[in-house]
Amino acid sequence: MSAWRQLTHGLRGLTRRTAVDRDVRDEVDHYLEQAVAALVARGVPPEEARRTVRLELGTAALVCEQARDYGWDRLVGAALGDLRYALRQLRATPGFTAVVVLTLALGIGATTAIFSAVNPILFEPLPYPQPAGLAMISDFGPAGLPQDVTFGTFLELVERSRSFEAMAVVKPWQPTMVADLEPERLTGQRVSAGYFRALGVPPMLGRDFQPSDDRLDGPRVVILSHALWTRRLGADAATVGREVTLDDRSFLVIGVMPPGFENVLAASAEVWAPLQYSTSLMPDGREWGHHLKMIGRLRPNAGLGQGRRELDAIARDPRPEFPRVPWASLQQGLVVSSLQHEVTRAVRPALLAMLGAVLLVLGIACVNVTNLLLARGVRRRGEFAMRAALGAGRARLTRQVLTESVLLAAIGGALGMLVAEAGVRALVALSPPGLPRVGAIRLDGTVFAFGLAVTTVIGVLVGAIPAGHASRGDLQAALQQGSRRSAGGHQLTRGALVVAEVALALVLLVSAGLLLRSIGRLFAVDAGFDASRLLTMQVQGSGRRLDTDAARYRFFSQALDEVRRLPGVTAAALTSQLPLSGDMDGYGVHLEAERELNDVSSALRYAVTPSYLETMRIPLRRGRVLDARDIAGAPRAALINEALAKRLFRDRDPIGQPLRFGPDEGPPYTIVGVTGNVKQTSLAIQNEDAIYVAVPQWHWVDNVMSLVIRTQGDAAALAPAARQAIWSVDKNQAIVRVATMDSLLARSEADRRFALILFEAFGLVALVLAATGIYGVLSGSVSERTREIGVRAALGASRAAILTLVARQALTLTGLGMLVGLTGAFVASEAIVTLLFGVSRLDPVTYGAVVALLLTVAILASAIPAWRAARVDPAITLRAE
Amino acid sequence: MDDPTTDVIQGTLDMLILKTLSLEPMHGFGIARRIEQISRGVFKVNPGSLLTAFQRLERDGLLDAEWRQTEKSRRAKFYTLSRAGRKRLEADTADWTRRAAAVARLLKAEA
């Protein structure tokens, strides 16, 4: 009841102020009349009675003032009053308001957008039940780096481990779905039966994989993603139990995953089938290939440390009932890390660097706004002094200033959300292909809450210093301030703000500069082939008609011939893997003489058609290229790259040496030539060992090959014709990843480029903000010192001397800021060191260029105020008092 | 201070208002005069505090207020004790008596 009355009375107080005020007034009047009447009744003359009452009880207005000062609505009313006043103030200075609001909108918007990307990727747990219990398990490769596990290792660990309740292995799978339209190559995964149980997400429709599905020659069953089910099958619940055609074979659909299911190991996967590997583990089978990603779910009471210790103990304790092969002996132990960490490891440095960069921008924006508010506070000093003289307390003045800054921040924040919305779209569009959990980047409740929190903190932060200045001032001095005689202590504060601004901008610009130089260095790296006018596409040779090696080879050869016949094609070739495309396909290699050694290292395998080197323009260093001689049944020939030649033979001649490569069957390869090194993974990575063999001389014919076409004109323009040429051979084969080599090259460095674009954008914003900040402070200080300058001029100071006076102030502040900033940049560059390539994080060129740039900007920003100061007319200034 | 009247003891104004109104509905000045009379001029009530207290008590549901027309056809606000107000008065009275007695005993013991 009383809460209800509080509410209704309070609301009435807010909405019907005049009626409520009249009630109070009536009550007070009545009270005082009664008091007078009482005195009159005791015989006091009316005039005397009224005087007594006024003396003892106060005037009606005073009593009303006291009586009205009750209730929560009073506080709200006062706050609304502050707000209305603040709005009026802001409307009165539209230029100032616009600059502040835009600055804040940029800062808050950019920060919110970056946060929306960083939060789901780095901080939010993975979208599975009990995500902390999910681990990723890897083997150690020859170089001591983690590598994928083998099926044999997986089987042994499943049998022997106790701290994991579920384990699963997956490998990529790209089946082609042929429907009425063009064949569509899907991204999918082959998984062991327990995959979805390990993740903890069951299918929405139908059933999960059972162990009985996952055996050699088991049933052909698939589970579909919700997106694929909706896109290709019309979201029909009756799909479960029907068959779909993948790679010319029919698969029974047994389940559909729920719409929100996020598959962090392969975000674009839309179809899953059982792995169906043989448990008999023949040493030369695929079961011992390092190509499976392995995840495990820990038992609820087992931590990551326990899982790690247990698997390590198992790895170092081989048992006869679980035979191992030399290249999966687990002698170096196993790597057990949290799945979350593994999924985000590659992008973590870039994202953290971006978060740091955007916080710098936000910091600069705040410093700028604080500066502007301070300058405005100085102009309004007379107003505040007047209010204080009329009885406004310090708290009241502080509240007014804070209301204004929070209001500014709120408007800036609201606009900032629009900026963030656009920013998130740009981020997703620009994001490098390897960015995990892109789907989770959006503006949601968490992000809005973050934006709100940032806005509030900023509102208070940027208002705090001006509020302190406004309420502190000496009344007497301030009221006389019409003459602007006093240049206050706020000069120091504002100087400090400029120093901070220059320092922050320098940190950001140095980071951006280092990244820019890295990208420049990177693209100057020789990829080992000529990327210009080179069109690439991946062709699939799948389906029942292409079931044999011979049939696949025939299809690929015919397709290649058709492409070669196209006008505008100067050369064309096929390769099993394409440089800088994300392909990664290596096999164990060793000299025939060292066959018995357990030390196995791997080399990249390129199964190519003879004209590959010529098409790619990869130089031949010695020996001969692969040619028409190297067919099935002929002596096996191999080309090795310089890196491998150097590692295996040092100064000896490798030509004619026998070499074991890949599965241990048949005769060894003979090295017939040495080629130049080619960058496979990334321009930034050291040369990797590589071996080229002719397609018919490899142990099998791959069913996915990349076509490379050297063109006379624009490479991209040839794509439709090339596609038609291939389809003229077999129209059921999917063609994907059509791209020019130039674009692949650019994309291979997408992470760095992404970071660079953001840093450049932020750096530019920081530069503009710093310039306006320096300008704002100097022009403010010049107009405050007009009188002083006038006096100097009157006393004979030359224009040059006055110019120097102002410029010296600018340069002192900038110089101090740079000193602080250089220290900051020195520390901050440590954070982006993994993104750098070929430049030291202390690269003097970058630091020098940034210092020069900032100095130039500082000089330009101080030029206008200095010029104005030099033109001060002493007669006018001095008379102005 | 030679003025024998004092301000109402902090915190007791509410109780005094409730007590006064327990006799009959009254308007503001009536309540003030009654408090002064019954306390024999010991308590002098400030109208600002009194009116604020009325608003507080009314919002707390202890008083009901009603605008009436006086004989001189002026609008006057009359206050009535509500059921909750009566309960509060009983509780406050008991509490006050207990405290006052305790304080009195203490003062006596010291003397």
Domain boundaries, chain A: 2-70, 77-130+347-486, 150-333, 500-525+748-881, 543-733
Give every CB contact of residue B95 below 8 A, 6+ residues apart in sequence.
Answer: none
CB contact under 8 A, B29 and A67: no
Contacts of B32 in chain A (CB under 8 A): 31
pLDDT band at A485 (very low <50, low <70, confident <90, very high): very low
Mean pLDDT on A441-460: 87
* Burial of A162: CB neighbours in 10 Å, binned 0-12, 13-18, 19+: exposed
Residue B43 has pLDDT above 80, yes or no: no
CB contact under 8 A, A5 and B28: no
| Exposure b/e, B29-47, CB count within 10 A at least 16 = b | bbbbbbbeeeeeeebbbbb
Which pLDDT score is estimated for A488? 54
Residue A762 has pLDDT above 60, yes or no: yes
SS3 A704: strand
| Exposure b/e, A575-610, CB count within 10 A at least 16 = b | bbbbbbbebeebbbbbbeeeeeeeebbbbbbbbbbb
> Pairing between strand B75-81 and B63-69?
antiparallel
Look up the ipTM and state it: 0.83
Q: How does DSSP assign A219-278, residue by residue?
A: --EEEE-HHHHHHHHTT-GGGTTSEEEETTEEEEEEEE--TT---TTSTT--EEEE----
A358 to chain B nearest CA, in Å?
A: 50
Which pLDDT score is estimated for B4? 47
* Burial of A690: CB neighbours in 10 Å, binned 0-12, 13-18, 19+: buried
Give the model confidence (pLDDT) of A242-253 as tens digits: 988 887 788 999
Between the alpha carbon of residue A117 and those of residues A351, A428, A460, the distances in Å are 8, 9, 26
Residue A596 has pLDDT above 80, yes or no: no
CB contact under 8 A, B51 and A57: no
DSSP A838: S
Which pLDDT score is estimated for A876? 75
pLDDT band at A338 (very low <50, low <70, confident <90, very high): very high
> For A552-566, A742-756, A849-863, which range has the lowest pLDDT when averaged over its residues?
A742-756
A85 to chain B nearest CA, in Å?
A: 27
> Chain B: residue nearest A20 by CA?
B55
Contacts of B76 in chain A (CB under 8 A): 26-27, 30
Asked if the C-beta of A59 comes within 8 angstroms of chain B's C-beta atoms, the answer is no
CB contact under 8 A, B28 and A32: no
Alpha-carbon dihedral A723, A726, A730, A732, rounded to 10 degrees: -30
Distance CA A291, CA A644 (A): 22
CB pairs under 8 A between A and B: 79
Asked if the C-beta of A159 comes within 8 angstroms of chain B's C-beta atoms, the answer is no
Interface test with A, best of B59, B78, B82, B88 (most A CBs within 10 A): B59
> For A69-73, A91-95, A135-139, A788-792, which range has the lowest pLDDT when averaged over its residues?
A69-73
Q: Are A256 and A226 in contact (CB under 8 A)?
A: yes
> Pairing between strand A249-256 and A221-224?
parallel
Contacts of B58 in chain A (CB under 8 A): 5, 9
Give every CB contact of residue A11 below 8 A, 6+ residues apart in sequence.
Answer: A73
A7 to chain B nearest CA, in Å?
A: 9
Contacts of B61 in chain A (CB under 8 A): 1-2, 5
pLDDT band at A477 (very low <50, low <70, confident <90, very high): low
Mean pLDDT on A799-814: 84
CB contact under 8 A, B61 and A35: no
Residue B3 has pLDDT above 50, yes or no: no
Given B47, B56, B70, which is nearest A31 (Cβ)?
Answer: B47
**Domain definitions of chain B by residue range:** 6-110
Which pLDDT score is estimated for A135? 94
Distance CA A287, CA A586 (A): 15
Given A9, A58, A63, which is nearest B59 (Cβ)?
Answer: A9
Q: Are A536 and A708 in contact (CB under 8 A)?
A: yes
Phi, psi of A149 (to 5 degrees): -90, 170
Which pLDDT score is estimated for A599? 54
Distance CA A825, CA A849 (A): 14
Give the model confidence (pLDDT) of A812-825 as tens digits: 888 999 999 999 99
Q: Is CATH 1.10.10.10 the classification given to domain B6-110?
A: yes
Token pair 């609304």 is found at A80
Distance CA B76, CA A375 (A): 53
Mean pLDDT on A262-269: 86
Mean pLDDT on A281-303: 84
Distance CA B36, CA A465 (A): 51
Asked if the C-beta of A41 comes within 8 angstroms of chain B's C-beta atoms, the answer is no
> Chain B: residue nearest A33 by CA?
B29
Mean pLDDT on A387-403: 80
B78 to chain A nearest CA, in Å?
A: 10
Interface test with A, best of B29, B50, B56, B68 (most A CBs within 10 A): B29
Asked if the C-beta of A700 comes within 8 angstroms of chain B's C-beta atoms, the answer is no
Q: Are A565 and A722 in contact (CB under 8 A)?
A: no
Residue A45 has pLDDT above 80, yes or no: yes
Q: How does DSSP assign A375-394, residue by residue?
A: HHHHHTHHHHHHHHHTT--H
- Selection from A180, A221, A286, A411 nearest residue A700 by Cα: A286
pLDDT band at A90 (very low <50, low <70, confident <90, very high): confident
As given in the structure block, the two tokens for residue A63 are: 């009593």
Q: Max alpha carbon distance in chain B (Å)?
A: 57
Token pair 């048992």 is found at A319
A437 backbone φψ class: left, alpha, beta (φ>0; ψ -120 to 50): left
Q: How many CA atoms lie within 13 A of A472 on its CB side?
A: 11
Distance CA A605, CA A607 (A): 6
**Which residues are bridge partners to A355 per DSSP?**
none
> Chain A: residue nearest B58 by CA?
A5
As given in the structure block, the two tokens for residue A806 are: 């102002």
- Selection from A114, A519, A518 nearest residue A352 by Cα: A114
- Selection from A712, A741, A704, A717 nearest residue A618 by Cα: A741
The listed range with the strongest mean pLDDT (A102-106, A295-299, A356-360, A449-453) is: A295-299
A402 to chain B nearest CA, in Å?
A: 29
DSSP A292: B
Helix and strand element counts for chain B (H, E):
4, 5
B94 to chain A nearest CA, in Å?
A: 23
Residue A487 has pLDDT above 60, yes or no: no
A59 to chain B nearest CA, in Å?
A: 11
SS3 A620: strand
CB contact under 8 A, B51 and A66: yes
SS3 B57: helix
Distance CA A450, CA A445 (A): 8
Distance CA A305, CA A648 (A): 39
Token pair 């490891």 is found at A345
Q: Max alpha carbon distance in chain A (Å)?
A: 139
> For A46-55, A341-350, B40-49, which range has the lowest pLDDT when averaged over its residues?
B40-49
CB contact under 8 A, A26 and B56: no
Which pLDDT score is estimated for A205? 92
As given in the structure block, the two tokens for residue A559 are: 């397709």
Give the model confidence (pLDDT) of A524-578 as tens digits: 888 899 999 999 998 887 777 787 888 999 999 999 999 999 999 999 999 999 9
SS3 A82: helix
Phi, psi of B43 (to 5 degrees): -95, 130
Given B30, B60, B75, which is nearest A2 (Cβ)?
Answer: B60
Which pLDDT score is estimated for B48? 80
CB contact under 8 A, A5 and B55: no
Asked if the C-beta of A570 comes within 8 angstroms of chain B's C-beta atoms, the answer is no
Residue A322 has pLDDT above 80, yes or no: yes
Q: How many CA atoms lie within 13 A of A453 on its CB side?
A: 9
Q: Are A748 and A682 in contact (CB under 8 A)?
A: yes
- Selection from A633, A686, A697 nearest residue A662 by Cα: A697
B10 to chain A nearest CA, in Å?
A: 17
pLDDT band at A611 (very low <50, low <70, confident <90, very high): very high
CB contact under 8 A, B58 and A5: yes
Contacts of A57 in chain B (CB under 8 A): 46-47
Contacts of A30 in chain B (CB under 8 A): 27-29, 70, 74-77
As given in the structure block, the two tokens for residue A418 are: 């629009």
Asked if the C-beta of A14 comes within 8 angstroms of chain B's C-beta atoms, the answer is no
B107 to chain A nearest CA, in Å?
A: 34
CB contact under 8 A, A33 and B74: yes
Distance CA A296, CA A161 (A): 10
SS3 A258: coil
Given B28, B49, B55, which is nearest A31 (Cβ)?
Answer: B28
Residue A142 has pLDDT above 70, yes or no: no
Q: Angle formed by the axes of helices A844-870 and A799-831, to 10°?
A: 150
Give every CB contact of residue A870 below 8 A, 6+ residues apart in sequence.
Answer: A799, A800, A802, A803, A806
As given in the structure block, the two tokens for residue A846 are: 């970058």
pLDDT band at A881 (very low <50, low <70, confident <90, very high): low
- Selection from A32, A812, A745 nearest residue A496 by Cα: A812
Mean pLDDT on A407-415: 91
Distance CA A371, CA A367 (A): 6
Q: What percent of chain A stands above pLDDT 70?
A: 95
CB contact under 8 A, A32 and B47: yes
As given in the structure block, the two tokens for residue A473 are: 């001032």
